[in-house]
Structure 1
Amino acid sequence: MNRRFDVVESVRSGFPGVKVRFENIELNWSFVLGRLRRSLGEHFRRIHEGDFHMANPSSDLEKRMQQILDKEEIRELMSKYCHGIDKKDEALFMSIWAEDGNYELPRGNGTGTEGIRQLVQKVWREVPKCHHHITNPLIEVNGDGATAKTDVTYFRETADGVHCLLSGMYSFEFAKVNGAWKTRHLKFSSFVNASPIFKENLKG
């Protein structure tokens, strides 16, 4: 069924007096209905065949939600690292690591569960007090692997009683092991090793 419209429309968009004329617009209703019918047919065909990517956007939403959950679990690992090392909570500290993890610090490297345990115990002997603040995490998740870079500022008191304020960067690698994220590699790179004039550092 065809219908013909003669339309005169005035359009004012910052130009007074300008008129635009639309004439002899032919609307072919059978063509419109045919296109609509074909579009609906394709939509239901995809649903019937189980192809929901175009027909149902929930799969994309589920992927995005999973990424949010993964990143939150990784942030929790980084928080456990700080709490574990600052409070000398060995069980909490060791809980973040994969069995084949690698821990790199200026004081040494630790590989595997026992190597990491020995390195953190060395840190606790040489640095009796420390307080870490991880900030600005950039986390990239790719399937069952992930990486992160963060800034870190921390206060420490060494075994000889010297107080320091330091800043640097952590580079993390993570892996999902049996459904849970674990730290596979952690490396510290120093930015600034500052020693402000703490009154405790003054001698005599």
Structure 2
Amino acid sequence: MKRIFKLTLAAAAVFCSSIAVAQTQQGNMMVGGDISSFNLEFLGGGSGTAFDMSLTPKVAYFIKDGLALGGYVNFGLSTAKDQGTKTTYGIGALGRYFLEDQKVRKMEFSKRSRFFVEANAGFGGRNYSGGGGSTNGLDLGVGPGIAYFITPNVSLEALLKYNLTVGFGSATTSNRLNLAVGFQVYLPTAKARELIREERGK
């Protein structure tokens, strides 16, 4: 019990001390996700409801200042009465680069905001229960985004991404432009490992 209490204190120390650590510094970890759309619509005339949702959890590690590599999982569902169901899925690798150019930094509306570019590549698809233009195969995406840090370690984000799926199915390609909102938590992993090692050594 005493050891658990000490590890909890160490974790709290990591959180508090991380205020002084740059969010996108080499060795940090980014954990969070995007909500592309979330909508529950009550249709008139006794037609029932329409439901639309898409979630994309992400995790990435900063291999150098401003550049993170990691992975993502995507799942989406859209359904409405008498209109069938559309499911989307994806899994793969992602890369994110926070822009450091001073001309770009001057365009940021707040010292708490940061522009970035994100790209992904993996396997994914879009399938329709009603026999629409389903596509499964290589899933690619790229686009700009902005992160607003509501605390030194938590950001709210908006990401405009062009997505392309190329493969097999009733339609060989599927392309779309998607605006996603979400959040990320930035963890100073190097500092966390150091504190935990120190605590275990006592």
Same fold (TM over 0.5): no
TM-score of the pair, normalised by structure 1: 0.37
Give the TM-score, by structure 2 length: 0.37
Report which of the two has the higher share of helix. Answer: 1
The structure with the largest strand share of the pair is 2
Answer with 1 or 2: which has the greater Rg. Answer: 1
